[in-house]
Structure 1
Amino acid sequence: MAWIFLFVAGLLEIVWATLMKASDGFTKLWPSVGTIGFMVLSFGLLAMAMKTLPLGTAYAIWTGIGAVGAFVVGIAIMGEAVTVMRVAGALLIVSGIVVLKLSSSH
């Protein structure tokens, strides 16, 4: 169950990061409220996952899901640049997530 909590927490990190961008520096009310709400949910699920998963593994995977997900949202929705170096960086993050998952005994 901890892995499910961690995965959902990572997805919620993508949501709050996207809403934070939409909040325009917390100057727009509803994206700002959404940012804080999804942040609380994401942190809560991360905390639940950390009850049984190792700290380093849980935190690295959570941030990795959020980072790669925000990268994809930036490209797919916000028109950010797709370059070889940016894609290579995202692939390295995904590789690290896979290695951490495979090396976890939980």
Structure 2
Amino acid sequence: MNWVLLIIGGLFETGFAVSLGKAQGATGKALAFWLCTFAVCVAISMYLLFKAMGGEKAIPVGTAYAVWGAIGAIGTVISGILWFHEPVTFWRMFFLSTLIISVVGLQVVSS
């Protein structure tokens, strides 16, 4: 269950990063909406990270934070490509792949 909480928390991390990106070009009510979305996503993301690191099957802090951050980073890059028309280059995809491989490797070697 802790891994599910951590993955969902990482997705909300993507949500708060995307909200900040959307807020950059917004004004008025749209700006208020994106800033509220940011605050809600941050709160949920942090709470789920906190819950994943506790309890009976706690995920170690270093592993949990690395996985949570990687999910957020991967989701943010993909969201940037889809919604902000950021470039898809070989090197971006290469380093995104190494991030995924590193997080999987960290999980494999963690007890």
- TM-score, normalization by structure 1: 0.93
Q: Secondary structure of 2:24's match?
A: coil
- Corresponding residue to 2:107 among 93, 101, 104: 101
Q: Which has the larger radius of gyration?
A: 2
Identity of aligned residues (%): 33
Match of 2:38 in 1: 35
After TM superposition, the structure 1 = structure 2 runs for residues 1-106 of structure 1, keeping only pairs within 5 Å, are 1-24=1-24, 28-51=31-54, 52-105=58-111
Matching residue's letter, 1:101? Q
* Distance in 1 (alpha carbons) for counterparts of 2:77 and 2:4: 22
What's the C-alpha RMSD, in Å, of the aligned pairs?
1.5
**Gapped runs of 5+ residues in structure 2?**
none
Matching residue's letter, 1:11? L
**Gapped runs of 5+ residues in structure 1?**
none
Out of 28-37 and 94-103, give the one that drifted further: 94-103
Shift of 1:79: 0.5
* Distance in 1 (alpha carbons) for counterparts of 2:26 and 2:6: 27
Shift of 1:70: 0.3
Contact 1:26–1:32 (CA under 8 A) maintained in structure 2: no
Q: How many residues align?
A: 105
Shift of 1:76: 1.5
Matching residue's letter, 2:41? F
